[in-house]
Amino acid sequence: MIVALYDRIRKGKNLVEADPNISHAANFLLMLNGEKPSATAAKALDVALVLARRSRTQRFHLRCRVTAATLSDMHSAITSAIWGSERPAAWRRQRSGFQDAEGNRREG
């Protein structure tokens, strides 16, 4: 909601109050655009928000399970999951490749 309000302030528009009778996604669109969104638009944003959250959660759980499967302690499993999900994307991209026996860099 802060993003929607910030966008309206940035554009010099009046702020729009949230409607307690509609979903979070619909409220975001209402506060962003200043008019009540269609059911399709609200549902599309709702699904996008759920999928984005689910994807991050699945990556967290996978890292945790992989570390735990090595018979490491629980602290290590949780730490690896958090570290893997919080590293900057640019750092992950730099480290995503590996070198073969001849020293050639390949994407991993």
Q: What's the pLDDT tens digit per position in 29-55?
A: 999 999 999 999 999 988 888 876 666
Lowest mean pLDDT among 12-16, 25-29, 39-43, 92-96: 92-96
Per-residue pLDDT, 46: 87
Higher-pLDDT residue of 14 and 66 is 14
Segments in the chain forming alpha helices (H): 2-10, 24-33, 39-69, 74-86, 89-95
End-to-end Cα spacing for the chain: 38
Residues 33 and 42 sit within 8 Å (Cβ to Cβ): no
What is the model's pTM?
A: 0.52
All residues at 6 or more sequence positions from 28 whose CB lies less than 8 Å from its CB, including other chains: 1, 3, 4, 45
Q: Is 99 helix (H, G, I), strand (E, B) or coil?
A: strand
Beta bridge partners of 19: none
CA distance 39 to 26: 8
Question: Rounded CA gap, 43 and 60, in Å?
Answer: 26
| Mean pLDDT along residues 101-106 | 60
pLDDT grade for 4, boundaries at 50, 70 and 90: confident
Question: What pLDDT, on the 0 to 100 scale, is given for residue 72?
Answer: 79
